[in-house]
Structure formats: structure tokens, C-alpha cells
């Protein structure tokens, strides 16, 4: 790992600890390629792991062509989720622990078997053979008051900053998913008992298992596998929502139940 990647990661860590606004890295440390950005992310994850625990899951950012176009990239971006930031439904988080708390509404897929790097590239069918269970999920993220209009000027910095992930809330696992038409499952997001969006489980990349295949291929390119017990949150079915103290968030998916989060 390069000295530049380590220096950039240390700067990111300090920025988080000081609750500073999300900004581009200094030019001398800025990633020039996606590989540079993922090297910074790896170093950042290693620093955060000392406090937050090991990586147990993964996320996909910019899963839709519209969001990719908005930010100025041509493919999704991957992030990782630390063990201590994973919660089970019903969960509670403190509003004051974040600079600007945002929530995404997703399908989580937990692996029942490994997808080793040597087996890449992966298909939906190959992923299905390794899936242990699926469940509704909420992503907990913090955009740290980012200027969204400025993101296209430095789109790789989102990767470096671990795609803003601060954890996930997982619903109850559904192990008997084989009979479900997963892409067609209807999903509804509610905040304070008011519907704020809806969609279907296939709205992200066509199928949640396609998103898992993308993550597994991404990990394989870096010499890593997606392992049994790991999980992937597969992209937001509903547009990202900013939430406030006192809000109650529920995300219900047909056939999979609901996941709930209270912000205090």
C-alpha cells in the first residue's frame, strides 16, 4: 500500500473524527484512478477497523445509470460495512452521532457458501447457489453535508470515503426464498407512518443477485472472495432520504417482512 494512500486515509479519518464536511482530498493525495481510490478505501477501512471491528458486509453505491450519470462515472462503486455498525431490526441510532444522517432502502443477501476469487466472473445463477438468506435492510449513511453538485468534479473521492457507509439495519432472515419471484417483490418505505417511496426488488441492477455478482467480481479483482456469513446490501430501491431526530423509518418488502429504525 502506497504512502499516499495511507496519508489520504489518515486525513479522511481525522475529517470524520472532527465532523468536518465531506470535501475533495488535497490534489497531492487525490486518487487518479478507481484503483487509487480503492487503495485509499482499504487503508481507511483498516484504520476504522481498530474502533469499528472487521468488515462483515459490502454495499453498492450508484447502482442506477441515472446516479452514475449524475456523479460522472460509468459503473457502480463498492463500499464495506464494519461489524459493530450492523444492527438487527428493530434498531435505534442517535441523531447526534452523525453530521447528516441519510437512509437507503435495500435488499440484503447473506452468503451461505463462499464465492472464492478463483471462480470469478460470477453470474446470477452461480450466486443463487451460494445464497443463505435474504432480508429487507436499511443502509445507515452520513453524507457529512456534502455538496452534491460538486461530486462530478471528484467522483472517485466517494470510493475513498467508503461510499459514506456508517452501517446497516438488517431484517429477519428469510431462508426459504427459492419460491419467490424476487425481482417482482413490491417494496414500500415509510417515515413516521407516511409512505415516502416504493419500488420493486429488481429495480437495482435487475436482480439483487446481480448486485452480489458485481460485488463478488469486484472483490475477486482485488484477490478477495465473498465469504460465507458475509452480506451485501444491494442498492436502494427508493431514493435516499434525509432523516431527523424522532423519525421512525420502516421498509417493508413483500414476502420478506419489514425492517425498522428509530432515530433518537
Residue ranges and CATH numbers for the domains of the chain are 55-263 (3.90.850.10)
Sequential pLDDT tens for the chain (264 residues): 799 999 999 999 999 999 999 999 999 999 999 999 999 999 999 999 999 999 999 999 988 777 777 777 888 999 999 999 999 999 999 999 999 999 999 999 999 999 999 999 999 999 999 999 999 999 999 999 999 899 899 989 999 999 999 999 999 999 999 999 999 999 999 999 999 999 999 998 999 999 999 999 999 999 999 999 999 999 999 989 999 999 999 999 999 999 999 999
- The confidence score (pLDDT) of residue 233 equals 98
User: Do residues 55 and 86 touch, judged by C-beta distance below 8 A?
Assistant: no
pLDDT of residue 64: 74
Q: Residue 66: its pLDDT value, please?
A: 72
What phi-psi label fits residue 229: left (phi over 0), alpha (psi between -120 and 50 degrees) or beta? left
Choose among 140, 145, 150: nearest CA to 59.
140
Q: Select from 52, 55, 137 the least CA-distant residue to 89.
A: 137
Q: What's the pLDDT at 65?
A: 76
The reported pTM is 0.96
Amino acid at each position: 500500500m502506497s504512502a499516499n494512500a495511507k496519508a489520504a486515509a489518515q486525513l479522511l479519518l481525522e475529517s470524520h473524527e472532527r465532523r468536518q464536511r465531506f470535501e475533495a482530498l488535497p490534489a497531492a493525495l487525490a486518487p487518479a484512478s478507481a484503483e487509487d481510490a480503492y487503495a485509499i478505501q482499504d487503508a481507511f477501512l483498516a484504520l476504522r477497523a481498530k474502533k469499528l471491528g472487521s468488515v462483515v458486509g459490502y454495499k453498492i453505491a450508484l447502482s442506477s445509470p441515472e446516479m452514475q450519470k449524475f456523479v460522472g462515472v460509468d459503473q457502480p462503486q463498492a463500499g464495506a460495512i464494519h461489524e459493530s455498525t450492523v444492527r438487527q431490526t428493530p434498531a435505534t441510532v442517535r441523531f447526534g452521532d452523525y453530521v447528516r444522517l441519510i437512509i437507503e432502502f435495500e435488499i440484503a443477501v447473506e452468503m451461505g457458501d463462499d464465492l472464492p476469487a478463483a471462480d470469478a466472473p460470477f453470474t446470477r445463477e452461480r450466486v443463487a447457489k451460494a445464497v443463505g438468506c435474504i432480508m429487507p435492510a436499511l443502509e445507515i449513511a452520513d453524507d457529512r453535508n456534502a455538496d452534491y453538485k460538486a461530486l462530478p468534479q471528484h467522483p472517485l473521492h466517494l470510493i475513498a470515503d467508503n461510499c459514506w457507509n456508517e452501517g446497516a439495519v438488517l431484517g429477519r432472515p428469510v431462508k426459504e426464498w427459492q419460491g419467490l419471484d424476487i425481482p417482482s417483490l413490491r417494496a414500500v418505505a415509510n417515515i413516521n407512518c407516511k409512505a415516502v417511496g416504493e419500488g420493486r426488488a429488481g429495480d437495482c441492477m435487475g436482480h439483487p443477485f446481480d448486485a452480489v455478482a458485481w460485488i463478488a467480481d469486484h472483490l475477486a479483482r482485488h484477490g478477495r472472495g465473498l465469504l460465507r456469513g458475509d452480506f451485501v446490501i444491494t442498492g436502494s430501491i427508493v431514493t435516499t432520504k434525509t432523516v431527523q431526530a424522532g423519525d421512525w423509518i420502516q421498509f417493508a418488502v413483500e414476502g420478506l417482512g419489514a425492517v425498522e429504525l428509530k432515530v433518537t
